[in-house]
A and B are shown apart, each in its own frame.
Chain A
Amino acid sequence: AQSVTQLDSQVPVFEEAPVELRCNYSSSVSVYLFWYVQYPNQGLQLLLKYLSGSTLVESINGFEAEFNKSQTSFHLRKPSVHISDTAEYFCAVSWGSALIFGKGTTLSVSS
């Protein structure tokens, strides 16, 4: 079975600092990988996804993630965070028709 490990449960950073949220998955087969963001009292929103092709994927709000097959990782990065990026971030992997999620990383951006 698939599993997803998010190595950091909480990541506090200052505004305009760079950030990396780490995600590792377990799989011996080709996978689809995702990052979802959850703002307080809201549902999950897809941030970005890796399906195939270029290993570097980008979102419209400055986040990027790199698929590394040899390290089975899909870390999320942003060079300069904003207060509005404060949220819970979930890494997920496809498993059949379902998604398997990690436990989440709380990103807290302060001024």
Chain B
Amino acid sequence: DTGVSQDPRHKITKRGQNVTFRCDPISEHNRLYWYRQTLGQGPEFLTYFQNEAQLEKSRLLSDRFSAERPKGSFSTLEIQRTEQGDSAMYLCASSRKREGRHNEQFFGPGTRLTVL
């Protein structure tokens, strides 16, 4: 168990550029979540996958955001035409679905995005 990993850890981009982040969950976890954390705020839920299916998306996830988990393992989060308001820490978490029980989420270190 190597934990949840995210790449890159930091990304600086210019307004209007596209960026893509990657998340590798804990290997036996079939659920994967994306959250966004802005300065002075707690993390906000964006979306989650069970295996390769994207089951829920927050209203925070605008049309410029797209997430994929093509083989049910790693996931990517892409932001198109970045805006300064997209500057935030993007957190990934994973969990193992167990029927009738809470699924504890394990978080990665995050990708800090700065849009200039």
**Interface residues in chain A, defined as those with a beta carbon under 8 Å from any beta carbon in chain B:** 4, 6, 9, 32, 36, 41-46, 49, 51, 90, 92, 94, 96-104
14 contacts between A and B (CB under 8 A): A32-B102, A36-B107, A44-B91, A90-B42, A97-B31, A97-B33, A97-B56, A98-B33, A98-B45, A98-B48, A99-B35, A101-B42, A103-B40, A103-B42
Which residues of the partner chain B approach A94 to less than 8 Å between Cβ atoms?
102
B47 closest partner in A (C-beta)? A98
A36 closest partner in B (C-beta)? B107
Which residues of the partner chain A approach B58 to less than 8 Å between Cβ atoms?
98
Q: How far is the CB of B66 from chain A (nearest CB, A)?
A: 19
**B42 close to A51 (CB less than 8 A):** no
Starting from the known contacts A45-B107, A104-B41, 10 additional A-B residue pairs (CB-CB under 8 Å) come to A41-B109, A43-B108, A43-B110, A44-B43, A90-B43, A97-B33, A97-B55, A97-B103, A98-B58, A99-B43
